[in-house]
């Protein structure tokens, strides 16, 4: 059977991934007009309109939505094959992007196991906040909180995490009979998430699960700008923090933190793996995603 023109396929994949002709042209080293011409050639070949043109952007039509994941996966497989043939036995590099809290907290006990799981790869670790520029930074995989930040990319849910009260063993031992009903405001460590976050765990929500009003008092509790810092303050005996299960599991296992009581408060969003569609078929990235999913569970 005749194959669609490869240059037209490349132009379509890049334009769909960037949602624009100009960025696709910069990546391919041609003019936007050339990209547009190649896309029209592919539309003629399939007999379907693949894009709707909106000023400087392009939006996939229903036909384009059906075609893009298949083409992206095929291009990814070709990319992986070419890399293996060109690089030979040289280790493949994976650019992994993740928030600081996950790098310093959740993955901290698993680095050695991760190296064993990917013996033929080398990690290029980027610790950064959302959003990240996948194409410009050539990122292979991003671990993100929530699915809404990258609508044009492939996402896979890793885990729906929860938060639970944690404190130092000494803090609990010094307060026999400690219970949610006996907590004072000064016992609590709050996390200030900033104006861009809405779905985050708060002590008010946690007390609401129990049908209780949050404690009040003249002496306020401590406050931190990061959840990992809040749990470090709790481990130092400064009070109770709402720790994400993923981030505090190692400290609980090591005895630095204890969970004095429940319940767990489910987070508003899951943690997800985000990647370009064309990289979904790469074997090393699939192994990395499988490793991360197994560790969070």
For 197-239, what is each residue's pLDDT tens digit?
Answer: 445 789 999 999 999 999 987 788 999 988 888 999 999 999 9
Answer yes or no: do 187 and 133 share one domain: no
168 shares its domain with 154: no
The mean per-residue pLDDT over the stretch 57-77 comes to: 85
The CATH number of the domain holding residue 16 is 1.10.10.10
Residues 154 and 274 in one domain: yes
pLDDT tens digits for range 73-111: 787 777 767 766 665 555 578 999 998 878 877 888 888
Burial, 41: exposed, middle or buried (Cβ in 10 Å; 0-12, 13-18, 19+)?
middle
Q: Same domain, yes or no, for 138 and 101?
A: yes
| Contact assessment for residue 258 and residue 252, using Cβ atoms and an 8 Å cutoff | yes
Supply the pTM of this predicted model. Answer: 0.68
Confidence category of residue 196, pLDDT binned at 50, 70, 90: very low
Does the N-terminal peptide bond of residue 189 adopt cis geometry, omega within 30 degrees of 0?
no
Number of structural domains (the chain) is 3
CATH code for the domain of 114: 3.40.190.10
Q: State the residue range of the domain holding 169.
A: 162-266
Most distant CA pair in the chain: distance in Å? Answer: 78
Site of tokens 């002709």:
21
| Phi and psi based region of residue 95 (left: phi greater than 0; alpha: psi -120 to 50; beta: remaining) | beta
pLDDT in the model for residue 194: 57
Residues 47 and 186 reside in one and the same domain: no
Phi-psi category of residue 54: left, alpha or beta, with phi > 0 → left and psi -120 to 50 → alpha: beta
Which contiguous run of DSSP H or E holds residue 27?
A: helix 21-28
């Amino acid at each position: 059977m005749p194959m669609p023109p490869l240059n037209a396929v490349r132009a379509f994949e890049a334009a769909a991934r960037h949602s624009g002709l100009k960025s696709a042209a910069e990546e391919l080293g041609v003019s936007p007009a050339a990209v547009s011409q190649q896309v029209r050639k592919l539309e003629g070949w399939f007999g379907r309109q693949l894009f709707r043109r909106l000023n400087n952007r392009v939006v996939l039509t229903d036909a384009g939505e059906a075609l893009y994941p298949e083409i992206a996966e095929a291009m990814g497989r070709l990319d992986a094959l070419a890399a293996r043939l060109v690089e030979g036995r040289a280790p493949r590099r994976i650019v992994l992007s993740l928030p600081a809290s996950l790098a310093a907290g959740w993955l901290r006990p698993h680095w050695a196991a991760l190296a064993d799981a990917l013996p033929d790869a080398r990690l290029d670790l980027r610790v950064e906040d959302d959003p990240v520029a996948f194409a410009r930074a050539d990122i292979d995989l991003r671990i993100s909180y929530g699915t809404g930040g990258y609508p044009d990319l492939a996402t896979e849910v890793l885990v729906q995490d929860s938060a639970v009260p944690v404190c130092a063993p000494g803090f609990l031992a010094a307060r026999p009979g400690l219970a949610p009903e006996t907590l004072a405001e000064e016992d609590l460590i709050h996390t200030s998430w900033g104006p861009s976050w809405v779905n985050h765990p708060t002590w008010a929500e946690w007390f609401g699960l129990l049908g209780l009003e949050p404690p009040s008092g003249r002496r306020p509790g401590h406050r931190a700008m990061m959840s990992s810092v809040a749990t470090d303050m709790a481990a130092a005996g400064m009070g109770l923090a709402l720790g994400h299960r993923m981030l505090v599991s190692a400290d609980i296992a090591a005895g630095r933190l204890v969970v004095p009581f429940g319940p767990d408060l489910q987070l508003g969003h899951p943690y997800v793996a985000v990647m370009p569609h064309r990289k979904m078929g790469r074997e090393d990235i699939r192994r990395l995603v499988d490793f991360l999913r197994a560790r969070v569970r």
